[in-house]
Amino acid sequence: MTNPMDRLRSNLSRVRIPEPTNRIFKRECCISFDTPRSEGGLFIDLNTFLAYGKDYVGWNFEKNGNPVYLHIKQTRKLIPEDRPLKKPTHLAIGVEGGFDNNETEYDETHNIVILPDYVILPFPSVELPEKVRLAVDAILMAEGAERKEQVAAWTADKKQTSAYAMNLRQINNGVIVPPSGWKCAKCDKRDNLWLNLTDGMILCGRKNWDGTGGNNHAFEHYKETGYPLAVKLGTITADLEGSDVFSYPEDDSVLDPLLAQHLAFFGIDFSSLKKTEMTTAERELDQNTNFDWNRIQESGQEVEPLFGPGYTGLANLGNSCYLAATMQVVFSTRSFCSRYYVNQNLKLAFGAAPADPTVDLNMQLTKLGHGLLSGKYSIPALEKDDSANTATTTDTKQEGIPPRMFKAVIAASHPEFSSMRQQDALEFFLHFVDQVERVHSGKPDLDPSKSFKFGIEDRIACSSGKVAYNRRHDYILSLNIPLHEAINKEEVQAFHKLKAEKISEGKDVRSSDEIVRPRVPLEACLAAFSAPEEISDFYTTALKAKTTAIKNAGLTSFPDYLVLHMRKFVMEEGWVPKKLDVYIDVPDIIDISHMRSKGLQPGEELLPEGGPEDEAELNMPVASEDIVCQLVSMGFNHLHCQKAAIKTSNTGVEAAMNWLLSHMDDPDIDLPISQQSQGATIDQSKVDTLISFGFQEEIAQKALKASGGDIEKATDWIFNNPDASASSDMDATSSGTAQTLVDAGLTDGGGKYRLFGIVSHIGTSTQCGHYVAHILKDGRWVIFNDDKVGASVNPPKDMGYLYFFERLNS
C-alpha cells in the first residue's frame, strides 16, 4: 500500500497556494447547505478553494480530478458560566447573530484528506510538504468569500458627502416639481426618474447591461451641461439621508447635507412633511404598525412549529426577508418544485455547472430547492441550556438555511439586490423571474417562470370610431385600490370623526381594537383594472392628429399561477409618502373568466397604418423664442440657437449656451432642423433592441424614424400603429393566427383560481419594515417568517401585499 505522505507528494501539482484575490469558501458547501458543523464537516478543494460536504466531495473528484482537500470539522464546546459578555461590533449590526452575547462556541479540527480513498493526514504537522502547509495556513487565515462579500455589501452602503453639494449652483427656471405624475422630459419613461438639482430637469436613468432601466437621458444631460447632482424621484422621504442622490462626476451614490435646501428650490418643502411625520405618522405608527406587526407575524398566538420536507426556514442574512418570503412561495409551486427538485438532482446540476458552481443560477436554484424541500435541514435547532451548561434540542424553532450563494448569483446584475438594504418584494420577484427566463432562453420548455406569465390586451378606441389592439406580456397583475368602493364607509367615517374629536381633546386612539380601516373587496380592485381609462394625447393615424382615446384592458391567457400586486404605496400632495391603511377582502376562490379579452369584434375597424413622417413632424420639438432671442442678441447664429434650445429641452439660456459652445464644430450644426431630423441615421443597436422585443426590422426602423430614435417612443408608436406590425409576434392585429403567435408558449386554462400564498409587508415603505409569507400547504396555512415556520392560526388574508393564486383545473 502506498505511503499516505508519498501519495500527497505525488499530487502536489494539484495544490495551489491562494492569492489575496482568490475567493476562498470555507463556511458552506457550494452544492448543499452543509457546513463545518455538519456531521461530515466540510472539505475545501486545495486547487479551487471551493467547499464540499461529505456526500458531495466525491462528485468534485470525479468531475475535476482534484484529490487533495482540507477537512474542517467544528464541534460544540462547553462555555464557562462566568464568561463575560462580548461587545457587539459595528459590522455585527443587522448580521445574523450580531447581538447574541451567548452564542455557542466551537472547537475546530483540521485534517488533510486525499481522495478517492479518503486517506487522512493530521494538520498541523511538520511532516507535511511546505506547499501544503502554506496553502492551508493561507486558507485558515483568510476571510471566507461568504463573509467577505457580506461585509463588502454592508460597507458599500456607507455613502460619502459629495464634493459638489455645499457649493451647488441652482438655476431659477421657474420649475416646481409636483408630488406625482412625473415623466422624463426627453421620452415617455415614467419610472427610474432623476431630478437634476441644478436646473430641475426630470430625466430617466441609465440603461442596464440587459436592456432594462432608463434611456440614459439623465446621464446625457450631465454630459451636455456638467450639472453634477441628481436625486431619484420616489426615494425622497422625510429621512433625507435615505434619499438616493447620485453624483455623475464622482460616479457614485453620495450624501447631500443641503438636500432639503436644494429640493425646496424646486418647491419640495420638507418642513411640513417632517412635522407631520413627527406627529400624526408616529402616533399612527404606534397604533397601526404595531398592530400590523402582531397580526401578520401572529405574535401572541400559539403557533405550532413545523418541521420536515417543505417546512424549512430561511435564515435572515440582514434585511433579506423580502427574498425569503418570495422564494418560499415560489418553491411552493409545482413548476419550480419540479424543475429544481423533483426532476433535477444535485449531482446532475453540479455536472452541468461551470468550474465555479457558486456563480451558476441553475446550480444555486437546485441547491436552494433541495434545501427547502428535502427536509434535510428542517430539524429542531440546538439551544444552550444555561443551567446544565449543555446543548439540547428544542422543538420550538429551527436554524434555517442561509441563501447566501443564491442571493449573490441572483443579485449579481442588480446593484440594489446585491446591497444589504431592505428591498421591494415585488421588484425582487420580477427580477427573479426575468433572470430565470433568460437562462432558459434556449430551452423554453424547461422554463418554470412561464407558469406565471400571461398576456394582456389593451383595446384603444379613438374619437374616429376606429380601434387598435395592443398586446404585451407580464408576470404580475398590478391593481389599484379604489377606496371609494369600501364596504364599511359609514364605520370609517364614524371612526375618523371620533379620531378628530380625540385629537382635538389632546387624546390618542390607542387601542388597536378601536381602529377602523376601509375594507375593499378584491373584486372591486379587479374591476378597476378592466374599467375604461381615458388616454390624452393619443396619436391616431385615422385623423393624423393627437386626440383623446378610451382604453380597456383584458387578459389574453390565464396562467398556471396568477400574482396580484396591491398598490398600497402612494405619494400624496406635499410629497408625503403614504401607505394606504386598508384591508382587502380576498376570497379563497376567485373567478376572472369575465376578464378574458375578446379581440377584434365584428363591425370594428382597425386604425390604418400611418406614415412616420406625419407623426415625426407633429412631435418635432419647438425652440423657446425667449431663449433663442437672448442667444441671438449675444451674436450667435439663429439656427444654432434654435438647436441649442431644443437640445437642452428649453431649460434656460445658460444651459443652451453651454451646449452651443461645446457643439460649435459639429458637422451637422448648419443642417436645417427638419432636414436633420428626417435625414438622421438610425442607430442599428436600437433597431436590434426592438428586434429582440419581437418586432420586424422594417417596423423597428420606421418606428425609430417616427420617434426621433427614442426606443421608448418607438415602442409606443408600434403599439399605437397596429397595422404597421402585422407580422410581428407582438402583433396588435385581430386574427386568430396573430393571437396564437402572441400567446405562443403561454400557459392557459379556465379563469377559476384558489389562493395559496400571501406575502405581507409591515412598515411604512417597501424599502423598510419586514416581509412575511403565509402559504397553504397540505390543507392548512403555514407562516414562514424567516427561519421560523409554524402552523398559522389566523392568516392575514386581508393584509397582503402580493397574493398568489393557483389555477384550478377546468
Between residues 274 and 681, the one the model is more confident about? 681
Average pLDDT over residues 579-598: 93
Considering only residues 809 and 459, tell me which one the structure prediction assigns the higher pLDDT: 459
For residue 747, CA distances in Å to 447, 453, 473, 655 come to 12, 8, 12, 52
Instruction: Give the Cα separation of 406 and 364 in Å (integer).
Output: 5
pLDDT band at 308 (very low <50, low <70, confident <90, very high): very high
The whole-angstrom separation of Cα 1 and Cα 709 is 74
- What is the pLDDT at residue 395? 58
- 203 close to 196: Cβ distance less than 8 angstroms: yes
Instruction: Flag whether pLDDT at 423 surpasses 80.
Output: yes
Q: Residue 388: its pLDDT value, please? A: 43
Taking the CA atoms of residue 628, residue 634, residue 640 and residue 644 in that order, the dihedral angle to the nearest 10 degrees is -60
Question: Does the pLDDT of residue 659 top 50, yes or no?
Answer: yes
Cα-to-chain-centroid distance, residue 292 = 24
Model confidence over 670-699: pLDDT tens digits?
A: 777 764 444 445 667 677 776 666 566 777
- In the chain, what percentage of residues exceed pLDDT 70? 77
At 375-389, the pLDDT tens digits run: 999 988 765 444 444
Q: Are 433 and 425 in contact (CB under 8 A)?
A: no
Averaged pLDDT, 719-744? 45
461 versus 104: the higher-pLDDT residue is 461
Considering the chain, what is the average pLDDT of its residues?
81
Taking residues 2-19, what's their average pLDDT? 90
Amino acid identity, residue 155?
T
**What pLDDT digit, counting tens, does each position of 140-151 carry?**
988 776 666 655
Q: What are 403-413's pLDDT values in tens digits?
A: 999 999 998 87
pLDDT classification of 740: cutoffs 50, 70, 90: very low
The residues that are catalytic are 321, 770
Decide if pLDDT at 649 tops 80. no
Cα–Cα distance measured from residue 341 to residue 685, given in angstroms and rounded to the nearest whole number: 39
Q: Which of 643, 636, 647, 642 is nearest to 225 (CA)?
A: 647
State pLDDT tens for residues 120-136.
Answer: 999 999 999 999 999 99
More confident residue, 793 or 752: 752
Query: Mind listing the pLDDT tens digit for each residue in 194-236?
Result: 999 999 999 998 875 445 567 889 999 999 999 999 998 877 7
Lowest pLDDT segment from 407-421, 456-470, 705-719, 738-752: 705-719
- Asked if residue 726 has pLDDT above 50, the reply is no
309 is written with which cell numbers? 420536507
Is the pLDDT score of 99 beyond 50?
A: no
What does the pLDDT read at residue 544?
A: 80
Please give the angle made by the CA atoms of 76, 78 and 84, to the nearest 5 degrees: 120
Q: What is the DSSP string of 362-414?
A: HHHHHHHHHHHHS-TT-SEEEEEETTTTEEEEEEEEE--B--HHHHHHHTTT-
Angle (deg, nearest 10), helices 425-439 and 321-330: 50
